[in-house]
């Protein structure tokens, strides 16, 4: 974007909003505006956008090497995450213009939080279609998945484990 246009960034926690602002400032990005917002229950409407990123809360299993304490989360605390993520993705999709792009992202390797949420979203939102994600930097998929999904694995891609799916509004 070359620091043009406008990037609206939201989180429901003040500390995370501060981190977004600090990061944008450190990078010299003046087009980023960060604020508090609950993705499930927004209090004020926003104009539809050309591009929307839904970076959903997740189990964090893809970043275990940087946050080893995650391994001590009780499995039962993770069971409700796919429904939460789906709800946030569905609500966030309302912000996408006709013809616009919606990206869904997590930092986990749990298929229930990733591909299953993405496929459920497509099944229940006929106004969106899969949008192919080209291979970044010549990388190849490490697992078999639809062309609109990428699962990045530490051992295969040299990154943290994370997932992204792309959709386009009709």
Q: Which of 54, 58, 76, 107 is catalytic?
A: 107
Rounded Cα distance, 153 and 22, in Å? 28
Contact between residue 31 and residue 3 where contact means Cβ atoms under 8 Å apart: yes
User: Is 78 strand, coil or helix?
Assistant: helix
Q: Confirm whether 107 is a catalytic residue.
A: yes
Q: Cα(first)–Cα(last) distance of the chain, in Å?
A: 24
Rounded to the nearest angstrom, the gap between the alpha carbon of residue 81 and the centroid of all alpha carbons in its chain is 13
Rounded Cα distance, 84 and 19, in Å? 23
Query: Which residues are designated catalytic?
Result: 107
């Amino acid at each position: 974007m070359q620091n043009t246009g406008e990037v609206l960034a939201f989180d429901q926690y003040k500390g995370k909003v501060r981190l977004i602002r600090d990061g944008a400032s450190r990078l010299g990005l003046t087009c980023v505006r960060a604020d508090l917002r609950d993705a499930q229950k927004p209090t004020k409407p926003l104009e539809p956008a050309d591009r929307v990123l839904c970076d959903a809360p997740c189990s964090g299993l893809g970043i275990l090497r940087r946050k080893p304490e995650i391994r001590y989360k009780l499995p039962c605390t993770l069971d409700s995450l796919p429904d939460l993520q789906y709800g946030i993705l569905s609500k966030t999709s309302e912000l996408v213009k006709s013809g616009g792009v919606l990206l869904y992202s997590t930092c986990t390797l749990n298929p229930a939080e990733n591909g299953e949420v993405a496929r459920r979203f497509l099944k229940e939102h006929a106004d969106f279609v899969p949008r192919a994600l080209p291979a970044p930097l010549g990388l190849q998929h490490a697992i078999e998945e639809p062309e609109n999904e990428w699962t990045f694995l530490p051992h295969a891609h040299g990154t943290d484990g994370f997932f992204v799916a792309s959709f386009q509004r009709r």
